[in-house]
Amino acid sequence: MSATAQTAPATSSTRRRALGVGAAVLACALIWTVGALAGVDYTVENPGQPAFTVVLAPVVLFSLVSALVGWVGLVVLERFLGPRAGVVWTVLAVLLALLSLAPVFATEATGGAKIALGAMHLAVAAVLIPLLPARRG
């Protein structure tokens, strides 16, 4: 019985975190899809680079990788900081989410594309920040 008691919280935490990763990816995919259906031109041009169109596959891939990196970062912080890891991770996540908006503003794109791309960046943070850190009970 004690083995079950010890694994239940870890399993619950893992499920919640996996759900957060999936929800972050789904949120980005939905934002991209709604934008595409609304006629958003996802063509962007960064200084010194040729224009390209942001398509769904990289949106899914980058949101998945970002979410998994966030999860791994939290696990590493939990290993070294214990109960303070959640607070440190949350502060870092908010700062990184805000910094991730800089390229959105620096790129040449339509207003609709910038709004949708910015919303995708913020959606990852909005989903992961409440779901990844351990809940205090």
pLDDT score of 10: 66
Does residue 2 have a pLDDT over 70? Answer: no
Enumerate the β-bridge partners of residue 44.
52
Q: How far apart are CA 68 and CA 59, in angstroms?
A: 14
The pLDDT of 82-100, averaged and rounded, is 96
Domain boundaries, the chain: 2-131
The closest alpha carbon to 41, from 104, 102, 117, belongs to 117
pLDDT score of 1: 47
pLDDT score of 67: 97
pLDDT score of 11: 77
Q: How far apart are CA 58 and CA 18, in angstroms?
A: 20
Choice between 8 and 38, residue whose per-residue pLDDT is larger: 38
The CA distances from residue 48 to 42, 45, 71, 113, in Å, are 18, 8, 33, 19
Q: Give the chain's mean pLDDT.
A: 92
pLDDT band at 95, cuts 50/70/90? very high
Does residue 59 have a pLDDT over 90? Answer: yes
